[in-house]
Amino acid sequence: MSYAAHKMMHWPTGIENCAAGFITHSRADFVPRISPIQTDDLHSDWPAPRREIGPVPNLVVTAANVLEVYVVRVQEQDTARGSGESKRGGLMDGVTGASLELVCHYRLHGNVLSMAVLSSGGGDGSKRRDAIILTFEDAKISVLEFDDSIHGLRTSSMHCFEGPEWLHLRRGRESFARGPSVKVDPQGRCGGVLVYDLQLIILKAAQGGYGLVGDDDGFASGAAISARVESSYIISLRDMDMKHVKDFTFVHGYIEPVLVILHERELTWAGRVSWKHHTCMISALSISTTLKQHPLIWSAINLPHDAYKLLAVPSPIGGVLVISANSIHYHSQSASCALALNSYAGSVDSSQEMPRSSFTVELDAANASWLSNDVILLSTKTGELLLLTLVYDGRVVHRLDLSKSKASVLTSGIATVGNSLFFLGSRLGDGLLVQFTSGVGASMLSAGLKDEVGDIEGDDPSAKRLRMSSSDALQDMISGEELSLYGSAQNNAESAQRSFSFAVRDSLVNVGPLKDFSYGLRINADANATGIAKQSNYELVCCSGHGKNGALCVLRQSIRPEMITEVGLPGCKGIWTVYHKNARGHNAESSDDEYHAFLIISLEARTMVLETADHLSEVTDKVDYFLQGRTIAAGNLFGRRRVVQIYERGARILEGYYMTQDLSFGVSNSESGSSSESATVLSVSIVDPYVLLRMSDGGIRLLVGDPSSCTVSVSNPAALESSKKLVSACTLYHDEGPEPWLRKSSIDEAIDGVLHDEGDVYCVICYESGSLEIFDVPNFNCVFSVEKFVSGKPHLVDTFMGDPQKSQSSEEVSDLSRNEKLQNMRVVELTMQRWSGHYSRPFLFGILNDGMIFCYHAYLYESMDSTSKTEVSASSQNTTASRLRNLRFVRVPLDTYSRNDPSNGTSCQRMTVFKNIAGNQGLFLAGSRPAWLMVFRERIRVHPQLCDGSIVAFTVLHNVNCNHGLIYVTSEGIMKICQLPSITSYDNYWPVQKIPLKGTPHQVTYFAEKNLYPLIVSVPVQKPLNQVLSSLVDQEFSHQVENHNLSPEELHRTYTVDEFEVRIMEPEKSGGPWQTRATIPLQTSENALTVRVVTLFNTTTKENETLLAIGTAYVQGEDVAGRGRVLLFSAENNFDNPQNLISEVFSKELKGAISALASLQGHLLIASGPKIILHKWTGSDLTGIAFFDVPPLYVVSLNIVKNFILIGDIHKSIYFLSWKEQGAQLNLLAKDFGNLDCFATEFLIDGSTLSLAVADAQKNIQILYYAPKISESWRGQKLLTRAEFHVGAHVTKFLRLQMLSTSSDRTGKNPGSDKTVRYALLFGTLDGSIGSIAPLEELTFRRLQSLQNKLVDAVPHVAGLNPRSFRQFRSNGKAHRPGPDSIVDCELLFHYEMLPLEEQLEIAQQIGTTRLQILSNLDDLSLGTSFL
């Protein structure tokens, strides 16, 4: 393996930063929704029956290098009543639901370390917007704002304090404990970023909204103005005599920005706390950005040494809260007070006593956010939510009240979103959007006290949980009763008893941190599958989460529907299901749950009709359908009262079995004489009451239905007859609902003065020339047009609007050869669809003839300079009055989707829209690589379906036996009726099923013979202190526990200890919840470190045995010598008595911790402490036969291939050994001489070459190799570097999987290559991402590497980050010799497909290759790694 590609397959999901701000809209855009009268003066006197939900800001979250902006959609009581469904969380404050909807999603070339929202200042009526400030490693700062014209973020300023000219800021240091952290002034006047531990960068905000970037083209004169950063300068805190800065924040209520810094004057540590404590202090600086001065205005000393966080108290109180592990302190310029949280909180001198809280809690690693100006929500390290109330009078705070609340996820950050929602971001569990309400009268208080410290999500394992999709399972329990909690102070006279109620409204699935995973068979695996379809048999079972958020995540990249029945159906060309309202025509019931009546199957030369009642029965001979040829399409018209069937030369309208009208299209076009008779129907789009036909002569026909008589008539759109442009694809789009969306984009609201309730119908047409036009139906006025739709531009703008960004010069220069390339590109299929949802916007999909798929999302943009350009063109075209001039489209990347092979002339339609398959909506893509495109929160999730190879036809089916299911026909001619597994959550990069464990999972392995998953789980248990102390004693010398420094009541305190066990889990047969089949308990203070399934050769019976091996260690403190145990278990298929499922066959205590186990050619290799020992198995005993004194410290991972051993040490990098049977000896072949903190290791096999991959604590991956013949390797003692790469996440596990053969291998272009067996490495990370390292041919690598170097400059990168610097090996200040750059980054290469076609051709030509060659290389890479 000399060359490789790094490819992300599942992006990070663990949320690290979250913030709220008005990014995509301003405060003034918010319309109060309580009263029908919306004038402000009347509204202020309106008697508010409930708490008003004010302007709701956006939510911005980051997960590693992913940045997402959401808009929060709040559903009021009245709008939801129409839809009739009760949303999650019940009714609170007149709100029935709130959900997150994605605005934009970016993958940055760098991990976001901290984030803040720069407020634009101004009150609720302010029209200005906020900006996002991101900081990246070392000292990079980017300021982003939302640009309406492109419906995305653009960088407004960048500030970098790295490189040679800023080297003096580091003061000679290479590594720093933490990266830059950013905080902003609450009024938006400036921001501060702490870099290099002691340098403070002040970002001065632009006043009045005009910064460096004046009013250029992108900002029309009336466009929204966002907050901007004007300039930046540095304050050195070292010069102000601050040594160790812990945190800083800007406080409220001063005329100039005031910065409060928490710092420690002299350090102390746990061993010296009794002599040296209260070492922290805070200093307040007044920042004058114009004079660049920062005088000290007040300070406070003697804060506890473990203070770590400052929180600015909002106006009108002002001041700061200092959070430490055992106490909370409030300080302002005039007053101060404190609250002790437990008995460890001591005051400076023991004379005065601190007020105590009513319960004990530790607040280290807490996160906080203000719910109101005097109540702050704290989330502790155990996931409890606490409320801290400031009891104040005027601006003086008298005391602090702490009260318990619900429990929730372990958070990484909290953001208050508006005045009644907050978001809990979490790396260890799902992110939750929670609505809160306060005040005694505000909510039903009945469900009160009994449930004071319950989980937010509730813990009742009812039957309902089993049906819910995994991530919602825990949180949906609370829809029944409202959760309340009371924070009552001891002294009720001063503080009114305030109650807060919470309701979980939405959650974002998180599968991180992936600590370990194993690769097992799915329950519904197909034993006969081959090739790529076989991958759909497997799934990844991952250990994720921590503590009570611990879960087993079952991840699958591809969807595998659950089959109900299958029948052979050779030669099928298409299938459709239709409704028929026979006896129930008069009954206006909801049509959502109506069953389908007929299934129409089109074969090569005939048509079959089946009735979909209790059984599928053929009724072909009873019906008047056209049966003598194939059907092109079928669907319902006139509110499902009639069925329309289109065949090549005609159409039929049917009611039930009987025909009511027959049409033929042969002779309608009389003037062109005989030639027109050859025109047949190629494709059809049906939208009640219209049917659009595309004919083989390049024209289109429209069938217009008359609902009163239920008949249709053919019309030829005159606008298109005259133009004679050939149509390559067309579709009808129905803008449904009482508020048609597209109408908002036109300037005159009511088109034709008619407001239908059904919405408007539009016709989208693509011509052979590559341009796209949208017409309104039935008048066929052109309302939107785009030149060169085929080139796939990032934004589509109406040509009459004129696109300011477009430069004509580049297109004229392009030479003829490339122009010919563009000529044969054309769109072969179009679909435009808006799925249900109050705020949903339409998507437009197009398929090109080379298999490329475009996906565009519509948005509105009112540009101010639009009128002039339109008036000029209005004279030439009088229909511009109703153009959709504010309509624009933005291109959306389709993740992980590999292109289909170009269609071989068959004109079957590949896109099928579905509205409800097991509750999901979206679009199914048939063809050689079928995929599901599901729509959640206005974002498209692409899930491939590999299990049946290519699919020729697809339709939905809803009847008695198949509830909201589907039918598809494979290319082998098998028709399958299926349902989607409902327990899986599809709103994730990969479909995921979460099984809650209520404990921390550590390691999992797969017992293939019995289909069991043994995993290590630890659960925190409270134990009395004296029990814990007695376990820390070495049993052999049994000392008495010295209690001399512990008082009696301290001995009865509890202490939290993790108790370990090994659970044997088995997936249910039905795809439901998982069952725990058996549990192996461990002794007290014994930690299980590893669990593996090993195959040992029994020397007595001369047979191989498959056993479960567990390695443990006793954790008893530093005074006791380390010991560990090896346990071997055998599994029996004893289903009557599950207790005897596993039985212990052997256990033995060894010196040192048993941190890794593996089977090596029938022997058991055990890593115990600083040596590895090889044992043979006699059936009753393990006897050592060889050992080696390596690694120096502690084995992190152990891999074996044939007789080679790879060991990763926790600090000393990797060791490569071999085992020789003859002399029974282990030999060290080579090692890496550098120091490296290994996280995971694995062998990488590429044909006949063996490489060693290692991932380290600096988030890098290195690939090394053993080459004794090369002189640099010191006769083979030293491993040499083959490649190195910065992944940007901690890799915890590698899995070696054989790569799948791709098209270029099958055609046998390189028959002589030895690369028959290529393996890729799949890896999981602590951020919840999954990626792969796949070997490449040298030729492919060189091509992709030169493309990558081009793309660094050719693609605009979000936040201005450089992909090359991101992927450079990080050594954190240690000496490191840079290795070869032999890994290409697919994250950057996949930008190529998103470039416009002209740029793709140009770049391909510059690097001396062709576009098709590049795309086929990227395709082969996608295919070769389409695991699971």
Q: What is the pLDDT of residue 699?
A: 86
- Name the residue among 79, 168, 1411 with its Cα closest to residue 825: 1411
Contact 625, 652 (CB under 8 A): yes
Q: What is the pLDDT of residue 897?
A: 61
Residue 957 has pLDDT above 80, yes or no: yes
Backbone angles phi, psi at 467, to 5 degrees: -85, -25
Residue 443 has pLDDT above 50, yes or no: no
Query: CA 430 to CA 426: how far, in whole Å?
Result: 6
Q: 579 vs 52, which has greater pLDDT?
A: 579
The percentage of residues in the chain with a pLDDT greater than 90, rounded to a whole number, is: 48
DSSP annotation of 281 reads: E
Q: Hunting for tokens 């005599």 — which residue is that? A: 241
Contact 19, 57 (CB under 8 A): no
DSSP annotation of 349 reads: S
Q: What is the pLDDT of residue 1103?
A: 93
Across 204-226, average pLDDT: 55
DSSP annotation of 1343 reads: H
The helix (H) or strand (E) run that includes residue 1216 is: strand 1214-1220
Query: CA 303 to CA 338: how far, in whole Å?
Result: 10
Q: 732 vs 535, which has greater pLDDT?
A: 732
Residue 736 has pLDDT above 90, yes or no: no
Contact 278, 305 (CB under 8 A): yes
Residue 1369 has pLDDT above 50, yes or no: yes
Q: What is the pLDDT of residue 909?
A: 82
pLDDT tens figures, 1046-1080: 666 666 778 888 999 999 998 876 556 788 989 99
Residue 1303 has pLDDT above 60, yes or no: no
Contact 487, 387 (CB under 8 A): yes
Query: CA 25 to CA 373: how far, in whole Å?
Result: 24
Confidence of residue 1037 (pLDDT cuts 50, 70, 90): low
| Mean of per-residue pLDDT scores for the chain | 83
* 533 three-class SS: helix
Confidence of residue 1120 (pLDDT cuts 50, 70, 90): confident
Between 87-91, 204-208, 895-899, 1040-1044, the lowest mean confidence (pLDDT) is in 1040-1044
Query: CA 1247 to CA 1250: how far, in whole Å?
Result: 8
Confidence of residue 874 (pLDDT cuts 50, 70, 90): very low
Q: Hunting for tokens 């809803």 — which residue is that? A: 958
CA atoms within 13 A on the CB side of 763: 30
Tell me: cis bond preceding 778? Omega within 30 of 0 counts.
yes
Confidence of residue 49 (pLDDT cuts 50, 70, 90): very low
pLDDT tens figures, 298-341: 999 999 999 999 999 998 899 999 999 999 999 999 889 999 99
Backbone angles phi, psi at 232, to 5 degrees: -140, 150
Q: What is the pLDDT of residue 1306?
A: 45
pLDDT tens figures, 683-710: 999 988 899 999 888 888 899 988 888 8
Q: What is the pLDDT of residue 84?
A: 38
Residue 1203 has pLDDT above 50, yes or no: yes
Q: 1321 vs 527, which has greater pLDDT?
A: 1321
Distance of CA 1034 to the CA centre of its chain: 48
Query: CA 551 to CA 14: how far, in whole Å?
Result: 14
Please enumerate in sequence order all residues whose Cβ is within 8 A of that of 850, keeping only pairs 6 or more positions apart, or say none.
825, 899, 902, 1412
Query: CA 729 to CA 709: how far, in whole Å?
Result: 31
Instruction: Show the tokens assigned to 233.
Output: 């300068």
Residue 725 has pLDDT above 90, yes or no: no
- Name the residue among 300, 125, 312, 147 with its Cα closest to residue 213: 147
Q: 1359 vs 1026, which has greater pLDDT?
A: 1359
Instruction: Show the tokens assigned to 772.
Output: 């796209």
Instruction: Show the tokens assigned to 581.
Output: 């309202």
Q: Longest C-alpha distance within the chain, in Å?
A: 112
Beta bridge partners of 785: 773
Query: CA 142 to CA 155: how far, in whole Å?
Result: 7
Residue 1376 has pLDDT above 90, yes or no: no
pLDDT tens figures, 70-79: 999 988 776 4
Please report, as a single letter, which amino acid is at residue 1139. Q
Cα-Cα-Cα-Cα dihedral of 1029, 1030, 1031, 1034, to 10°?
A: 110
Q: What is the pLDDT of residue 1294?
A: 96
Instruction: Show the tokens assigned to 1176.
Output: 């043979």
Instruction: Show the tokens assigned to 860.
Output: 């509105």
Q: What is the pLDDT of residue 512?
A: 83
Please report, as a single letter, which amino acid is at residue 1284. E
The helix (H) or strand (E) run that includes residue 601 is: strand 598-603
Residue 195 has pLDDT above 60, yes or no: yes
1255-to-923, 1279, 1323, 1324 alpha-carbon distances in Å: 39, 15, 10, 11
Angle between helix axes 1338-1354 and 1411-1424 (nearest 10 degrees) is 110
Burial class (CB in 10 A: 0-12, 13-18, 19+), 562: middle
Residue 768 has pLDDT above 80, yes or no: yes
Please enumerate in sequence order all residues whose Cβ is within 8 A of that of 450, keeping only pairs 6 or more positions apart, or say none.
none
Query: CA 300 to CA 1228: how far, in whole Å?
Result: 60
DSSP annotation of 968 reads: E
pLDDT tens figures, 483-502: 333 333 333 333 445 788 89
Q: What is the pLDDT of residue 1277?
A: 93
The percentage of residues in the chain with a pLDDT greater than 70, rounded to a whole number, is: 82
pLDDT tens figures, 830-845: 999 998 877 889 999 9
Query: CA 948 to CA 652: how far, in whole Å?
Result: 34
Can you list the alpha helix ranges (DSSP code H) found in 715-813?
A: 718-723, 809-813
Across 1088-1099, average pLDDT: 95
- Name the residue among 276, 293, 296 with its Cα closest to residue 285: 296
Across 143-156, average pLDDT: 93
What is the bridge-based pairing of β-strands 1142-1151 and 1123-1131?
antiparallel
Sheet holding 827-833, edge to edge: 795-797, 887-891, 853-860, 843-848, 827-833
- For every residue of 807-829, DSSP letters joined together read -SHHHHHS-HHHHHHHHT--EEE
Contact 978, 987 (CB under 8 A): no
Count helices and strands in the chain by DSSP H and E runs:
16, 87
49-to-14, 93, 268 alpha-carbon distances in Å: 39, 9, 56
Tell me: cis bond preceding 689? Omega within 30 of 0 counts.
yes
Between 6-10, 82-86, 343-347, 1260-1264, the lowest mean confidence (pLDDT) is in 82-86
Across 1019-1035, average pLDDT: 80
Across 723-732, average pLDDT: 86
Residue 451 has pLDDT above 90, yes or no: no
Instruction: Show the tokens assigned to 388.
Output: 């801290």
Instruction: Show the tokens assigned to 401.
Output: 């009240």
Across 1321-1325, average pLDDT: 95
Across 1135-1142, average pLDDT: 66
Residue 603 has pLDDT above 70, yes or no: yes
Q: What is the pLDDT of residue 1038?
A: 56
Query: CA 788 to CA 3: how far, in whole Å?
Result: 38
Distance of CA 356 to the CA centre of its chain: 42
Q: What is the pLDDT of residue 192?
A: 96
Beta bridge partners of 1081: 1061
Sheet holding 931-936, edge to edge: 911-917, 920-925, 931-936, 939-944
Between 607-616, 814-823, 970-979, 1047-1056, the lowest mean confidence (pLDDT) is in 814-823
Please enumerate in sequence order all residues whose Cβ is within 8 A of that of 27, keeping only pairs 6 or more positions apart, or say none.
55, 122, 123, 124, 125, 126, 127
